[in-house]
Chains A and B, each alone.
Chain A
Amino acid sequence: MSEVPAGLHYTASHEWARPEGEQVVVGITAFAVESLQDLVFIELPKLGDEVRRGERFGEIESVKAVSDLYSPVDGSVVAVNEALANDLDRLSRDPYGEGWLIRIAPRTSLPEALAGLLDAAAYRRLIEQEEHGGG
C-alpha cells in the first residue's frame, strides 16, 4: 500500500495539497508516482499563472504514458519546483517532500479553498478500489 500521509488533502486524480501559512503546496501522491513508473518529463506552470480546481495545470510523462496534472484549488502560482525539470528522481524518491510541484496562493480563504477535497482515509479507500477494481 502506497504511503498516504495524514493531514494532507487529496484529489481523486491523485494530487495532494498541504496548507502552509496562507498558501497551498501541491504535489502528486506516492500512488500516482508508483502507477506512472519511470518518469521522463514534467511540464509545470509559470510563476503568476492562474490555476483552477479540477483544471489542468501541467503534465507528467513516463515511459509508458502522459498524464495531465489537475489543480486541487483555485489560485495563482507563487512558486514552482524548478529542480524537477532536471531531476525527476526527486519526485520518485520523495513525492510528499522534495518532489513537490507548485505552491499556490488560493483565491479564497484557505478553509474554503480546501473544502471538498479528500482526507487521507477517503483517499486511501479510493486507491484501494483502484488497485483491486482496476486490475
Chain B
Amino acid sequence: MRRTVLHEVHRTLGARLVPFAGFEMPLVYTGIREEHQAVREAAGLFDLGHMGRLVLRGRDRIQLLDWVATNRYQGLEPGHAHYALLCQPDGGVIDDIIAYVLPEECLVVVNAANHQTVLAWIEQQRMARGLQAELLDRSEQLAMLALQGPRALAILGGLTGLDLAAIPYYGIAEGELAGVRMLLARTGYTGEDGFELYLPAEHAVRIWQVLLEQGRPCGLLPCGLGARDTLRLEAAMPLYGHELSRQINPYEAGLGFAVRLDKEAFVGREALARIKEQGPRRRLACITCEGRRIPRQDHPVLAGGRRVGTVTSGTFSPTLERPICMALLEPACAVPGTEVAIEVRGQLLPGRVGKRPFYKRERTP
C-alpha cells in the first residue's frame, strides 16, 4: 500500500485510513458531515497525494494534448486549464483529466486508479503520431493539496503576496506561499470556490500545518475522502469508475461541454460525432429520494414498473438531508420531474429526477 508524504500527519490527526486506488488515504478525521459542512460554510483542507501529476514538455505538447483529449488546448493562454476526457476510439472514457497550460509545460492531473494506464496511453499515442513531447510522472516530487470553501481565498490570501482573487476559475498561477514556490490553481471537486496547490513534496508537511493553523480560526477542518465524495456528489461531478468508464461516453455522462468536435482530429472524434448526432442511448440523471436509505452503485432504477436504468453513485446529502444519487437512465426518463423508484436491497425507494446539480453555490461576483 502506498502512502502520501502526509501519512504521518493524518495518523497524528486521528484520521481513519482506508485503501483507495493503491494508497492508504484518510477517509474521515472527525466526521463526514462535519467536514462536509466545513467546506460548504468555511473551508476544508484535503491531501490529494493519490492523484497522478504528469508533466508534458516539448515542442508538440499542446498538439499531443489536443490529440488525446476531447477539449481544445490550442489557443488556451498559459495560466489556464480545461477539464477534458481521454477517450478510446469508440468514445468510451479512459479517464477524465484537468490539464493546465503553463508557460513552458503542461500539468496533467489524472485519477489515481488510472495513473499508469494514462501514462502508457499518452506515450503510445505520442509515438504513433510521431510527436515531439515528453511525458514525465511528477507524482512523487509534487505534493497536491486542495483548500476548498468560501473562506479558501481569505485563508490563502493571508499567506501569499500573489493576487489570488485575480486568478479566474480554472486559472493557475505560480507564486510563493509561506516561503514555498508553488502552483495555485482555482480548481476543485467540491462545488465551492477554492484552490488546488502543487508544491515540492518536501515542503508538504509544513505547508499543511501552516494552512491548518491559518484556517482553524476561520472554521477550516482537514477533510477526508468521505467528505470529498459527498461534496462532489452534491455538485454532480463525475467520479471515474462510477459516472465514467470505458463503457460510458461523455455525452451519456452529460459532459458534452468538454468535447470539442469543432477542433482537428482527435482520438474518438468520429465515434463521438456519431453519438452526438444520434443522441446518447442513456443519460446521467440526478435523483433525490425519500427516506433515509442510500441508493448505491448498481442499484436498479425503475419507472412505471419497468427497469429504466442503474445508479452510478449515491450518498446521503448533508445539505439536502435526503438520499441522493446519480444514475444512467433511458433518455426519456432522465428528465426533471420523472418519478422513479430505486431498488435498495429488495425495497423500493421513491425518488424524483431533478435538475443537475443537486447543489450550486451562489457565485460571488
Contacts and interface: CB of A to CB of B under 8 A. Distances in A.
Contact of A38 (B19, B24, B32): B32
B357 interface: no
B33 interface: yes
Contacts of B345: 59, 66
A40 B292 contact: yes
B292 A37 contact: no
B146 interface: no
A135 B32 contact: no
B343 to A, nearest CB: 14
B1 interface: yes
Interface string A56-78: 00010101101000000000000
Contacts of A35: 16
Given A63-B226, A63-B315, A64-B226, A37 B17 contact: no
B28 interface: yes
Interface string B7-20: 00000000011110
Contact of A41 (B1, B31, B33, B292): B292
A41 B293 contact: yes
Contacts of A59: 345
A63 B16 CA distance: 14
Interface string A26-55: 000000000101101100000000000000
Of A64, A66, A135, which is in contact with the most chain B CB atoms at under 10 Å from its CB?
Answer: A64
Contacts of A61: 292-294
Contacts of A63: 32-33, 226, 230, 294, 315-316
Interface string B25-37: 0011001110000
B32 A64 contact: yes
Size category of the B interface is 20 to 34
Contacts of B24: 135
A41 B294 contact: yes
A37 B31 CA distance: 7
B294 A40 contact: yes
A64 B230 CA distance: 10
A53 B31 CA distance: 32
Contacts of B28: 37-38
Interface string B121-155: 00000000000000000000000000000000000
Contacts of B18: 135
B67 to A, nearest CB: 39
A37 B16 contact: yes
Nearest to A37: B28
B316 A135 contact: no
A68 to B, nearest CB: 10
A119 B18 CA distance: 29
A116 to B, nearest CB: 30
B31 A38 contact: yes
Contact of B19 (A64, A66, A135): A135
A35 to B, nearest CB: 8
B226 A38 contact: yes
Which 9 pairs show the lowest CB-CB distances between chains A and B?
A41-B292, A38-B32, A40-B316, A63-B32, A41-B293, A40-B292, A38-B33, A63-B316, A37-B28
29 contacts: A37-B28, A37-B31, A37-B32, A37-B226, A38-B28, A38-B31, A38-B32, A38-B33, A38-B226, A38-B316, A40-B292, A40-B293, A40-B323, A41-B291, A41-B293, A41-B294, A59-B345, A61-B292, A63-B32, A63-B33, A63-B230, A63-B294, A64-B32, A64-B226, A66-B294, A135-B1, A135-B17, A135-B18, A135-B19
Interface of A: 35, 37-38, 40-41, 59, 61, 63-64, 66, 135
